[in-house]
Amino acid sequence: MMVTKILQCLFGSIVLLLVSTSFSYAADEGDFVGDKKCRGCHKPMIVDIAKNLHSQAGHWNAEYKGCESCHGPGGTHAKSESAADILNPATMDSEAASGQCLSCHEDSNRHWVGSSHEAMDVSCVSCHSVHNNDNDKMLVESTEAETCYGCHAEQRVFTLKRSSHPISDIARFDNSGEMNCTSCHNPHGSQSESLISANTVNDKCYECHQEMKAPVLWEHSAVKESCLNCHNPHGSNHENMLTAKEPRLCQQCHEQGRHQTIAGEENSFFVTNRSCSNCHAQIHGSNHPGGVKLKR
């Protein structure tokens, strides 16, 4: 009991110390002048960044130079007051802008270089606004999905269709357990296609749909190959996010079979109700000894 109390006290004062000493970086090299200099002319920025994780970055990172860790040495600018004498990631070219961030964030961005975002001149500050404290990842919009929709309007359209994943349109980081774009994508780059944060698309789907991964006696090879053969991960107007309605969905691959099926014969078994799934209910694979045709 006592020991925890003491520890808590100790911890408390360490935290206090951390907070109270943030922003004490002093100039000691080159044209760097330290935060105190910036204070006089940019008071709102100082107030605002004091609430930001970066105000404590000095305690995690030896490279920390306060405002100047992202804006570069400010001695000349502090005298000239000219925008031309200070770096501003918002107006720099994308590679240089990201470079300001990567000097400290290289570890968490191992796949950044060469990623489709980096290659298309998207920079860290396309998505992050470090002077913005609206959300704890310092995103440019108040929710993650909104941040992405800024450039990916098409995906918004899909997520609004009849069937879609429960993608959150509320602030993301409230532990609501809802999904988001980064449930499947790593915007900082990944080793697989489409910035998927898993080795393959199916591995990604299995993370949440484990039951589909279990080995089955009778596989449907279209499923093992890719879930995307039949599903649109962002949403669709067909139920279960199917890319097409049955029987057309199946007929893309199964043109001929023991039973010829003609789409359009409205009263046929093959078309009404759940169509092919009426009989082939175990479309993802079957464990029944007699499930070879995926019917049970």
**Residues in 110-149 at the binding interface with ligand HEC, rule: CB under 6 A:** 112, 116-117, 120, 122, 124-131, 136-139, 144-145, 147-148
Interaction of residue 33 with ligand HEC, rule CB under 6 A: yes
What is the rounded distance in angstroms from the CA atom of residue 71 to the CA atom of residue 130? 12
What is the rounded distance in angstroms from the CA atom of residue 277 to the CA atom of residue 268? 13
Angle at 93 between CA 90 and CA 94, to 5 degrees: 80
Q: Among 22, 25, 35, 286, which residue sits at the site for ligand HEC (rule: CB under 6 A)?
A: 35
The nearest distance, CB 217 to ligand HEC, in angstroms, is 12
Q: Among 26, 93, 174, 209, which residue sits at the site for ligand HEC (rule: CB under 6 A)?
A: 209
Chain residue at closest Cβ approach to ligand HEC: 74
Cβ contacts of residue 211 below 8 Å, gap of 6+? none
Provide the token pair at 272.
Answer: 């009404």
Interaction of residue 167 with ligand HEC, rule CB under 6 A: yes
Strand partners, 218: 286
Looking up tokens 């994308």 gives 94
Interaction of residue 64 with ligand HEC, rule CB under 6 A: yes
The nearest distance, CB 11 to ligand HEC, in angstroms, is 18
Please state the separation of Cα 223 from the chain's center in Å.
25
Interaction of residue 5 with ligand HEC, rule CB under 6 A: no
Interaction of residue 11 with ligand HEC, rule CB under 6 A: no
Interaction of residue 214 with ligand HEC, rule CB under 6 A: no
What is the rounded distance in angstroms from the CA atom of residue 27 to the CA atom of residue 108? 28
Interaction of residue 238 with ligand HEC, rule CB under 6 A: no
Q: Among 111, 220, 245, 296, which residue sits at the site for ligand HEC (rule: CB under 6 A)?
A: 220
Stretch that binds ligand HEC, among 1-9, 12-20, 79-87 (CB under 6 A): 79-87
Helices within 110-235 (DSSP H only): 116-119, 124-127, 144-149, 153-159, 201-208, 221-225
